[in-house]
Amino acid sequence: MRKFLFRGLLVLVVLTVVGAGVGAWVLLRPPIDTVGDVAFDRALAVPPLAESRLDQDGRRVFDLRARAGQADLGQGGATETWGYNGDHLGPTLRAKRGEQVVVNITNELGEDTTVHWHGMHLPAKMDGGPHQPIRPGTTFAPHWKVDQPAATLWYHPHPHERTEKQVYRGLAGMFLIDDPATDVASLPHEYGVDDVPVMVQDKAFDDDGQLSENGRFGSEIGILGDSVLVNGTPGPYLDVTTSLVRLRLLNAATARFFNFQLSDGRPFTLIGSDGGLLDRPHQVQRVPLSPGERAEVLVAMRPGERVVLRSGPQAPDGDFATRRFQGGGDKFDVLELRAAATLKPSPAVPAKLVDIPRLNPSTAADAREMTFSTRDINGRKMDHRRVDAVVTKDTTEVWTVVNGHGTPHSFHIHDVQFQVLRRTDGQPVPPLLSGWKDTVHLPAHEGYTVIMRFSGFADPATPYMFHCHVLRHEDEGMMGQFVVVEPGGQPQLAAHHDHGG
Name the site residues for Cu ion (rule: CB under 5 A).
118, 409, 414, 468, 470, 473
| 286 interacts with, out of Cu ion, ligand C2O, none, CB within 5 to 8 A per kind | none
Min CB(408)–ligand C2O separation in Å: 16
By C-beta, is 75 or 403 nearer to ligand C2O?
403
- Least distance between ligand C2O and beta carbon 384 (Å): 14
Question: What string of DSSP letters covers 115-136?
Answer: -EEET----GGGS-STTS-B-T
Q: How far is the CB of 465 from ligand C2O (least distance, A)?
A: 5
| Cβ contact 100:145 at 8 Å | yes
* Residue 470 near which of Cu ion, ligand C2O, none (CB within 5-8 Å, type-dependent): Cu ion
What single letter denotes the amino acid at residue 421? L
- Closer residue to Cu ion (CB): 71 or 95: 95
Give the interface size with ligand C2O as a residue count (CB under 6 A): 10
Regarding 412 and contact with ligand C2O (CB under 6 A), the answer is yes
- CB neighbourhood size of 197 (10 A): 24
Residues 145-174 within binding reach of ligand C2O (CB under 6 A)? 156, 158
In whole angstroms, what is the distance from residue 303 CA to residue 342 CA?
Answer: 5
List, in order, residues 6 or more apart from 51 with CB less than 8 Å away.
62, 63, 91
User: Cβ-closest residue to ligand C2O?
Assistant: 118
Q: How many CB atoms lie within 10 A of CB 59?
A: 16
Contact partner at residue 256 from ligand C2O, Cu ion, none, CB < 5 to 8 Å by partner kind: none
**Can residue 116 be called a binding residue for ligand C2O (CB under 6 A)?**
yes
To Cu ion, the closest distance from the beta carbon of 500 in angstroms equals: 17
Task: Give me the least distance between CB of 140 and Cu ion, in Å please.
Answer: 17
CA gap 419, 453 in Å, rounded:
10
Name which of ligand C2O, Cu ion, none residue 60 binds, using a CB cut-off of 5 to 8 Å depending on partner kind: none
CB 123 → Cu ion: shortest distance, Å? 14
Nearer to ligand C2O, 305 or 383 (CB): 383
Nearer to ligand C2O, 249 or 465 (CB): 465
The three-class DSSP label of residue 386 is coil
Q: Which is nearer to Cu ion, 330 or 476 (CB)?
A: 476
Minimum distance of Cu ion from residue 158's CB (angstroms)? 7
Do 380 and 404 form a contact (C-beta atoms < 8 A)? no
Window 173 to 202, contacts with ligand C2O (CB under 6 A)? none
CA distances for 23 relative to 4, 33, 102, 327, angstroms? 28, 21, 54, 18
Torsion of CA 368, 401, 466, 464, to 10 degrees: 30
310 binds ligand C2O (CB under 6 A): no
Task: Indicate the Cα dihedral angle 465, 467, 470, 474, nearest 10°.
Answer: -70
Per CB under 6 A, the list member of 118, 121, 169, 216 interacting with ligand C2O is 118
Query: Number of helices (H) and strands (E), helices first, in the chain?
Result: 4, 33
Q: Site residues for ligand C2O, window 36-75 (CB under 6 A)? A: none
Least separation in angstroms between residue 256's CB and Cu ion is: 13
Choose the contact partner of 467 out of ligand C2O, Cu ion, none; CB within 5 to 8 A by kind. Answer: ligand C2O
91 binds, among Cu ion, ligand C2O, none (CB under 5 to 8 A by kind): none
Is residue 370 within 8 A of residue 466, CB to CB? The reply is yes
Contact pattern from residue 462 through residue 481 relative to ligand C2O, giving x for each residue in contact according to CB under 6 A and a dash for the rest? ---x-x-x------------
Of 160 and 414, the one with the shorter C-beta distance to ligand C2O is 414
**Residue 473 contacts which entry, Cu ion, ligand C2O, none (Cβ below 5-8 A, type-dependent):** Cu ion
**What is the DSSP code string of 154-222?**
EEE---TTTHHHHHHHT--EEEEEE-TTS--TTS---BTTTEEEEEEEEE-B-TTSPBPSS-STT-SSS
Residue from 197, 292, 408, 500 touching ligand C2O (CB under 6 A): that is 292
SS (H, E, C) 420-467: EEEECCCCCCCHHHCCCECEEEECCCCEEEEEEECCCCCCCCCCEEEE
CA distance 213 to 485: 40
Please report, as ranges, the residues that interact with ligand C2O according to CB under 6 A.
116, 118, 156, 158, 292, 412, 414, 465, 467, 469
